[in-house]
Amino acid sequence: MIAERRAETSAGETRVLEVDGARPDHPVLFFHGNPSNAGDWVPFLERLEGRRRALAPDLLGWGESDRPPAFKATMDGLAGWIGSLIDELGVERFDLVVHDWGGIALATAAQRPAAVGRIVAMNPVPLSPDYRWHWIARLWRRRGVGEILNATTSKFGTRQLLRQAVMNPAARGQLADLIHAHYDRGTKRSVLELYRDADPEKFAPIAASLANLKCPALIVWGDADPYIGSEFAERLAAALGGETTVEHVPGAGHWPWLDRPEVVGTVCDFLE
């Protein structure tokens, strides 16, 4: 059974989904992307229950976390908050699974590389100065335009946008429900803060720091992702400092496990 609890940091409180299992002192930490929340990870937590302890928090500003007005959801802000959360959870060693903007946790991990046992990255935001933002991100980054986009985004509109990114029609509706369960004014503010901070040139020092991560890593890439080209899977593999395996998933979009459920097993087997 997936347990739910609250975790407090100096910046604010968040929800953490958790399952118990082997190696309780070395759990798996899951960090979701934008615009969803920790609910993304339910299939993985269900698979790991009884096998590995695992924790999936909501990023501060998303899901069922606080929306503290003083907190700025910049790349540095989120990376620092993730470090504070790990410390508050009392976790000294962990495996790391990231998706989309959850990949900013790689920057956190690069500051404590000895703590990281294994890494799984699924279609993360490329922390590469060569990356150029997709069209939705470009709208969010534009002053005034991003605010209008957020103000007019409905669940129906999100389902239509997800037609590009999720090939499975049933999963599209489920993901739209998950997003809009918590897609409020605070989250929309965080989205704009994050994308407007994320100038590609700011990725260069983060990308350089990834060489500190010398642990085994698995990169799973949905090749039908309309936002991030599959070539960034190999670029991330080259940036990481350890032995890295890349698995391309043909016919899968930005959330590869929604289109190809066997990805859940691939990831969990690697973590064990």
Q: Which domain holds residue 204?
A: 3-271
Q: What is the pLDDT of residue 174?
A: 96
Average pLDDT of the segment spanning 83-96:
97
Q: What is the spatial distance between Cα 128 and Cα 181, in angstroms, rounded to a whole number?
A: 32
Q: What is the CATH number of the domain that holds 154?
A: 3.40.50.1820
**In the chain, % of residues over pLDDT 70:** 100
Q: What is the pLDDT of residue 201?
A: 87
> Is 89 in a helix, a strand, or coil?
coil
**Looking at the DSSP assignment, which residues form a beta bridge with residue 248?**
221
Identify the DSSP state of 201: G
Q: Sheet holding 244-249: strands in order across?
A: 3-8, 13-19, 54-57, 28-31, 94-100, 116-124, 217-222, 244-249
Average pLDDT of the segment spanning 230-239:
97
Arithmetic mean of pLDDT over the chain = 96
Q: What is the pLDDT of residue 252?
A: 98
Average pLDDT of the segment spanning 96-119:
98
Q: What is the pLDDT of residue 20?
A: 97
Average pLDDT of the segment spanning 25-35:
97
Average pLDDT of the segment spanning 226-252:
97
Q: What is the pLDDT of residue 203?
A: 94
Q: In total, how many domains does the chain have?
A: 1
Q: What is the pLDDT of residue 200?
A: 86
